[in-house]
Amino acid sequence: MAYTLQELAKEIAAAPAGSAVGVGYDVYEELFPPGEPDQGARAKAWEFAKANGCAVNNRPTERTVFFVKPK
């Protein structure tokens, strides 16, 4: 069963202020096709992050995208 945007939104909502929820590039690709480094996928991820009260922190060396909640 695939990880969904709804599940990610729930994890973000449950995370404390100042923390982050990370997803690996493989999961990110499923949520925001076609994945990194596509600009369209990045735009969709930023829209999702904004709608869920956080920002995006892409860490290519870790192959992980973090959704960061403000403090």
> Under a CB-based contact definition with an 8 Å cutoff, are residues 23 and 34 in contact?
no
**Six-digit token string for 40:** 């369209």
pTM of the shown model: 0.94
Residue 1 pLDDT > 90: no
| Whole-angstrom distance, CA of residue 24 vs CA of residue 33 | 13
pLDDT of residue 23: 98
> Under a CB-based contact definition with an 8 Å cutoff, are residues 41 and 34 in contact?
yes
**pLDDT tens for each residue of 16-60:** 999 999 999 999 999 999 999 999 999 999 999 999 999 999 999
pLDDT of residue 51: 98
| Cβ neighbours of residue 20 closer than 8 Å, sequence gap 6 or more | 54, 57, 66, 67, 68, 69
